[in-house]
Structure 1
Amino acid sequence: MNSINVGTMIDQSKFNHFHGLVLFWCAFIIVFDGYDLVIYGSVLPSLMKEWSLTPNQAGALGSAALIGMMLGALIFGPLADKIGRKSVILFCIALFSLFTGLIGISNNSLEFGIYRFIAGLGLGGVMPNAIALMTEYSPRSLKSTLVSIMFSGYSIGGMLAAGLAIIMLGQFGWRSLFFVGAFPLLLLPLMYKTLPESPRFLLNKNESNKIGKILTKVNPTFTYRENQTFEQMKTEEAGAPVIKLFKSGRALSTIMFWICFFMCLLMIYGLNTWLPKLMDSAGLSVSGLMFLFVLNFGAIFGAVFGGRLADKWSPKAVLLIFFTLAGVSLTLLGLVNNIVLVYVLVAFAGASTIGTQIITNAYISQYYPTEMRSSGLGWALGIGRLGAISGPLIGGVLLTMNLPFYQNFLVFAIPGILGALALCFVQESYSSSKARERYLKEESLTSDVQ
């Protein structure tokens, strides 16, 4: 009996209820990652007032979660490549949910920072694994689209945080917003029951029955028979997953991806932390929180539209346009004072910063082979978190310098251009998708000969 190539069957499948279930859970996870991103910026004015924080102190406190997210991505990404994605995802959800809830009972900035750091470990660890799992189960023709739709949860979470802050902050106080962040704990049992494990991990453990049951859901026309054998594309390379990122011609592209992530996350976290404060100080809005809402609303359109373009065209070409658009929109944002134009530019900034990050996640998840996918994403996000840490700190320094309004945004625009330049040096000829195309071509030729 011929072996079934699991990767090929998933690649050639049509989107159905099973794919939708994976999409739902991965998007649900990312919603709370986005919620955490925006919630700090939403409560920041209240925290500064209650605990008498200076802008520099507030920027440092905001970086506590980002340091945790960096370490979480570096640790849990490679770990999942070794022990499976599902168990790591569930552990990370429990970790960030529990400690986000505990932030609501913190009594001082030290406790707040410690809880944020531990929650950040879980948030950093869950993101690369959710992206990798979605990529593994997506049909080939929809990989960028589905990962981008999934990651739109990031922006939905940001909009949820800004919206709840507008409604709840005055009536219930800032602590109530962190209690909401503990909600995923309640759904862990259901997620444990319905979220599938990585197909590659099941193959490595010879879990044929589980693979067979999953493939009947991936492709309802497939009938699993006992003792059916399965295989994957033979691209496994020797060595630890992190070392593999620099093998087979991928070294330069790996470094360039890290630079892209650094620049993009610097823009995202700098804006989401300080945008309300910058706009309020310029007298451009009654509520700076509305700008966070618009920023993340624009990101949804950027992610979905850009993801679909990436599937139809080229992820690299789309990202070059988006990085450039980020630099242009942020530059213009500091030069206009018409409120309508400001809102439009904020939406474009959201589409081209958060949207760019989402499409980059989809791109990198397809660039690396599946056995190092979480490591590739985890390390890119981990190194990128240095940019995320820098964003709030840079914003705090800018406010203390009392620079002209346009110069504040110009500082955040420069990384967009640098990200585009780094992306130019990514070598697509060494990507996993190109390797799979060569593999399928060779298989086709072999079949023709036989």
Structure 2
Amino acid sequence: MRSTLVALMFSGYAVGGMAAAGLGIWLLPLFGWQAMFFAAAVPLILLPLVLRGLPESAGFLVRQGRQEQARAILQRLSPGQRLDGPLIQPQGAAAKTSIAALFQHNRTLGTLSMWLCFFCCLLMVYALGSWLPQLMRSAGYSLGSSLSFLLALNFGGMFGAIAGGRLADRFGLPQVVIAYFLLGAICISLLGLNGPMPILYLLIFVAGAGTTGTQILLYASVADFYDLSVRSTGLGWASGMGRVGAIVGPMLGGVLLAAQLPMTLNFVAFAIPGLVSVLATLVFMLSRRQQANRENYALAA
């Protein structure tokens, strides 16, 4: 269930992208591009109200001594479970860890490959999110059609994340991540070809699943890979590497657009990080397998 729940939570990013694209289709022809900035301010105004309803984690409440609040949250997660005794924080869960801990206990390959996946995936997410409408407009599509492509991209990200979470619970996260990266790279590379509109929407939908949807699954992969004592540190550093890719992605799109390359080459360039991520995920799988073998050998000894 963990992969499904994590994917469902992070799919809010794709829902927001769909809302932004839908508002753009409606607002831009009527009020111009300035209206989008006013629309973007509305979530910031609502944020304090949303935060009031956001519960703290059970682990944090236990560390603060707020046993009853933690018990209430855990009871909602597992109604059939009896929680009569005092709640105890797992040993090591509250300890502060440094980046060095991410490379201990045979985690070096896994950590580096996960960082590369985050970098490449967010590069693709932000490159497509920033430049897909402009690239499609330069290919001759109208503004409304270009924004509807962005809507399809984010819808694919939302659907892909939720479906991927269910698939990961059944077949394993790395296997699903590899399939998503590969499908996403293939579909992105085909976007530069002229084809019927239904085929184009389908390619963009799958590209959204293979980028935004995969990124959401990567968060679940980090949570599954690291022990509780280093999980927050691992997630923070992986996200930080991903944000570097988020900076590089729009810059790459700008460079490609300025170079006036053929449309096909632009999308092939966006797809290459997906293929790199396939290789990185294979290394990650190998690292996990070696780590599991060492742990089993140590237990047997």
Question: For the Cα contact (< 8 Å) 1:272–1:292, is it kept in 2?
Answer: yes
Match of 1:428 among 288, 293, 296: 288
Residues 212 and 239 (structure 1 numbering): CA distance in 2 closer, same or farther, change over 3 Å? closer
Code of the residue aligned with 2:138 in structure 1: it is S
Aligned length: 292
Q: How far has the Cα of 1:429 moved from its partner?
A: 4.7
Identify the residue that residue 159 of structure 2 maps to in structure 1. Answer: 301
Q: How far has the Cα of 1:402 moved from its partner?
A: 1.1
Structure 1 window deviating more from structure 2 (283-292 vs 228-237): it is: 228-237
Match of 2:48 among 188, 196, 199: 188
Match of 1:319 among 177, 194, 197: 177
Confirm or deny that 1:242 pairs with 2:99.
Answer: yes
Q: How far has the Cα of 1:218 moved from its partner?
A: 2.8
Structure with greater contact order relative to length (CA < 8 Å, sep ≥ 6): 2
Identify the residue that residue 27 of structure 2 maps to in structure 1. Answer: 168
Percentage of identical aligned residues: 44
Q: How far has the Cα of 1:295 moved from its partner?
A: 0.9
Match of 2:13 among 131, 154, 157: 154
Code of the residue aligned with 1:364 in structure 2: it is V
Question: For the Cα contact (< 8 Å) 2:7–2:216, is it kept in 1?
Answer: yes
Counterpart-to-counterpart distance in 2, 1:429 and 1:202:
35
Identify the residue that residue 215 of structure 1 maps to in structure 2. Answer: 74
The CA deviation string for residues 18-48 of structure 1, in whole angstroms up to 9 with x for no partner, is xxxxxxxxxxxxxxxxxxxxxxxxxxxxxxx
Confirm or deny that 1:264 pairs with 2:124.
Answer: no
Counterpart-to-counterpart distance in 2, 1:229 and 1:148:
31
Q: How far has the Cα of 1:371 moved from its partner?
A: 3.5
Structure 2 gaps of 5+ residues are none
Counterpart-to-counterpart distance in 1, 2:199 and 2:185:
16
Question: For the Cα contact (< 8 Å) 2:115–2:241, is it kept in 1?
Answer: yes
Structure 1 gaps of 5+ residues are 1-141, 443-450
Q: How far has the Cα of 1:179 moved from its partner?
A: 2.9
Q: How far has the Cα of 1:153 moved from its partner?
A: 1.5
Question: For the Cα contact (< 8 Å) 2:58–2:74, is it kept in 1?
Answer: no
The CA deviation string for residues 146-180 of structure 1, in whole angstroms up to 9 with x for no partner, is 11122221111111001101111232333332333
Code of the residue aligned with 2:6 in structure 1: it is V
Question: For the Cα contact (< 8 Å) 2:182–2:275, is it kept in 1?
Answer: yes
Scaled by the length of structure 2, the TM-score of the pair is 0.87
Confirm or deny that 1:281 pairs with 2:138.
Answer: yes
Q: How far has the Cα of 1:188 moved from its partner?
A: 2.0
Match of 1:405 among 254, 257, 263: 263
Identify the residue that residue 110 of structure 1 maps to in structure 2. Answer: none
Identify the residue that residue 229 of structure 1 maps to in structure 2. Answer: 86
Counterpart-to-counterpart distance in 1, 2:110 and 2:212:
21
Code of the residue aligned with 2:63 in structure 1: it is N
SS at 2:79 equivalent? coil
SS at 1:262 equivalent? helix
Code of the residue aligned with 1:355 in structure 2: it is G
Identify the residue that residue 38 of structure 1 maps to in structure 2. Answer: none
Q: How far has the Cα of 1:206 moved from its partner?
A: 3.5
Residues 204 and 246 (structure 1 numbering): CA distance in 2 closer, same or farther, change over 3 Å? farther
Scaled by the length of structure 1, the TM-score of the pair is 0.60
